[in-house]
Amino acid sequence: MRKILALHTGGTISMHEDELGQVLPGEENPIARAEIALPENVEIINEEIFNLPSPHITPAHMLQLKERILYAIQHENVQGIVITHGTDTLEETAYFLDSTIQLMFPIVLTGAMRSSNELGSDGLYNFLSALRVASDNKAIGKGVLVVMNDEIHTARYVTKTHTTNVATFRTPTHGPIGIVTKTEIVFFHQLQYQEKYNISTVDGNIPIIKAYAGMTDEIFNMLDFHKTNGLVIEALGAGNLPPKVLEGLKKVLLNDIPVVLVSRCFNGIAEPVYAYTGGGMELAKLGVMFSNGINSQKARLKLLIGLNAKLKGTELSDFIHDA
């Protein structure tokens, strides 16, 4: 018998639509109490750890989830984890767990785009699919996974791409790692190992700034350097910034604030290619760290994890770059 712990955190998958068309959380999570046909030899333990819309989720909640998972594995003979979560920040929670948990057992996140009483609600189906993946031996060693709409994605690269569509979760550049069929779980790819840090704190103020045409250094000069622990920039193209940004950016770096750069493009990898003023090569020489293929919200979490793991210098830049 394989024991799966289902941790319910709230989100649309646990909400209902009222007579006015408003989607709201209720006092009880209907998914946690639903009767479903479980995979053979699977026992499920439901636990409502939070009941929060996902915009309310913080890194402190992610840390609490990580600690609960580790306790379950070490003391409760659990062989897999399923987490139901609101979709707005699901990818961030998944990425945080993937970057902080060393163990090989399956951890699967899922959610819904339609509330529990809407026509065509996808929550119960996604939950069952996630349970199937978490109880499958082939999911062992695949890292934290996101299962939605019959697709299996890695926490490292998946992102929400549509505000309402049930097929919202996509993996740019790489595609899904596997699929859920009627009869089996099929995996196509295996990710390379990424360093993980079992942190116990999530302290730090790390804003995200998005680059745009005609941008100046005004927003950089507005930062309180004493209260800023790091900075993530969504740069243009392959990793470039308008030239008038540079003076403000240099002030940030001179205050020993680590700066991570990603591309605002949906596909591809940011890298120091261009040598003109504001180009990626100049930014790299200034000390900006390029993150390899993850989006800004995940790069922010990665920097937060690195800082709380007390990484500095080359060790921090290697961790940021490694994807």
pLDDT tens-place string over residues 241-298: 999 999 999 999 999 999 999 999 999 999 999 999 999 999 999 999 999 889 999 9
Pick the catalytic residue from 9, 12, 89, 159.
12
Contact 150, 180 (CB under 8 A): yes
- CA 271 – CA 290 distance, rounded (Å): 6
Task: Give yes or no for residue 17 having a pLDDT over 90.
Answer: no
Contact 45, 79 (CB under 8 A): no
Residue with tokens 């709380």: 308
pLDDT tens-place string over residues 57-105: 999 999 999 999 999 999 999 999 999 999 999 999 999 999 999 988 9
Q: What angle do CA 192, 78, 99 make, to 5 degrees?
A: 30
Q: What angle do CA 103, 106, 111 make, to 5 degrees?
A: 130
- CA 321 – CA 323 distance, rounded (Å): 6
pLDDT tens-place string over residues 208-235: 999 999 999 999 999 999 999 999 999 9
3-state DSSP of the chain = CEEEEEEECCCHHHEEECCCCCEEECCCCCHHHCCCCCCCCEEEEEEECCCCCHHHCCHHHHHHHHHHHHHHHHHCCCCEEEEECCCCCHHHHHHHHHHHCCCCCCEEEECCCCCCCCCCCCHHHHHHHHHHHHCCHHHCCCCEEEEECCEEEECCCCEECCCCCCCCEECCCCCCCEEECCCCEEECCCCCCCCCCCCCCCCCCCCEEECCCCCCCHHHHCCCCCCCCCEEEEEECCCECCHHHHHHHHHHHHCCCCEEEEECCCCCCCCCCCCCCCCHHHHHHHCCEECCCCCHHHHHHHHHHHHHCCCCHHHHHHHHHCC
Residue 75 phi/psi, 5-degree rounding, is -125, -10
Please confirm, yes or no, whether 110 is among the known catalytic residues: no
pLDDT at 258: 98
**Confidence class for position 109, pLDDT limits 50, 70, 90:** very high
Q: What angle do CA 110, 192, 234 make, to 5 degrees?
A: 70
